[in-house]
């Protein structure tokens, strides 16, 4: 991948930043699996220097760099195989799955996931809320928690959701699962629970939703479009599954 920097821009870099860019350009396979601290060690620079160099080629973070490298690998693979190749299209699908997984893992905030898991352990009862296709993720999460002996109820009906203030009791915990949280009901649930003194854990793949205003813990997954049909865009629910299964694995260990 040719990093997005011209000769003039390259000349404006500090010697240490040039070292980083040269390494990134010539060791792309190693960069795909390397942390920012490893890159700093390999280039004999600091993590802040690596971060600055990445930003100066138009990428916000090492995670974005990995995504760009993988996308470039897919593009080159498709060019060599031909765009009409069925194997090429399947390779694209698998590559997208890899991108979603790796980006979600990169975005994991382990302290927050641990806080969420410990809140579940301490709760008298867990009230889980989900809408649309995300209900299937919530159902699986609920079943696994029940297998582990936790008292869990899943609420999917709009009218029942808005009764959370009278439904919840001291010691309960509210968990809200949503891919984009564009459903107006779920933020209302969070507000009602918050106003009733019930802690809320939000799990979402979009930042900046109203859910964040009322959640005591927010768990974020990567946002990736999977398919668009008649103007309706569908996003991957894999990040939500990865987050919930991480919590289950921790609680079951």
Q: DSSP secondary structure string, 175-244?
A: EEEESS---SHHHHHHHHHHHTT--EEEEESSTT-THHHH-SEEEE----EEEEETTEEEE--HHHHHHH
Cβ distance 222 to 104 under 8 Å? yes
- Rounded CA-CA distance 120/19 in Å is 47
More confident residue, 144 or 29: 144
Q: What is the pLDDT of residues 26-47, one digit of tens each?
A: 887 778 778 888 889 999 999 8
- Provide the token pair at 118: 């410990």
DSSP three-state, residue 125 = strand
pTM of the model: 0.64
Q: What is the pLDDT of residues 78-134, one digit of tens each?
A: 656 555 555 556 667 777 777 777 777 877 888 999 999 999 999 999 999 999 889
Residues 6+ apart with CB under 8 A from 93: none
Tell me what pLDDT residue 184 has. 85
Handedness of CA 105, 111, 115, 118 (dihedral sign): positive
């Amino acid at each position: 991948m040719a990093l997005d920097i011209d000769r003039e821009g390259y000349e404006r870099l500090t010697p240490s930043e040039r070292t980083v860019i040269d390494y990134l350009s010539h060791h792309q396979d190693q960069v795909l699996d390397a942390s920012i601290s490893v890159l700093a060690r390999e280039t004999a620079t600091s993590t802040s220097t690596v971060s600055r160099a990445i930003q100066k080629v138009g990428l916000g973070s090492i995670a974005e760099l990995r995504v760009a490298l993988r996308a470039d690998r897919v593009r080159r693979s498709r060019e060599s195989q031909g765009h009409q190749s069925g194997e090429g299209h399947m390779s694209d699908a698998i590559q997208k799955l890899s991108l979603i997984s790796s980006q979600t893992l990169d975005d994991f905030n382990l302290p927050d996931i641990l806080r969420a898991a410990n809140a579940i352990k301490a709760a008298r009862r867990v009230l889980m809320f989900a809408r649309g296709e995300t209900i299937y993720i919530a159902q699986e999460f609920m079943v696994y928690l029940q297998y582990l002996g936790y008292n869990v109820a899943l609420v999917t009906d709009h009218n029942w959701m808005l009764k959370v203030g009278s439904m919840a009791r001291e010691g309960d915990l509210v968990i809200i699962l949503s891919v984009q949280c564009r459903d107006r009901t779920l933020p209302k649930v969070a507000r009602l629970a918050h106003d009733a003194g019930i802690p809320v854990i939000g799990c979402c793949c979009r930042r900046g939703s109203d859910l964040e205003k009322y959640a005591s813990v927010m768990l974020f997954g990567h946002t990736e479009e999977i398919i668009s049909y008649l103007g309706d865009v569908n996003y991957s629910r894999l990040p939500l599954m990865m987050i919930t299964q991480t919590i289950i694995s921790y609680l079951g260990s």
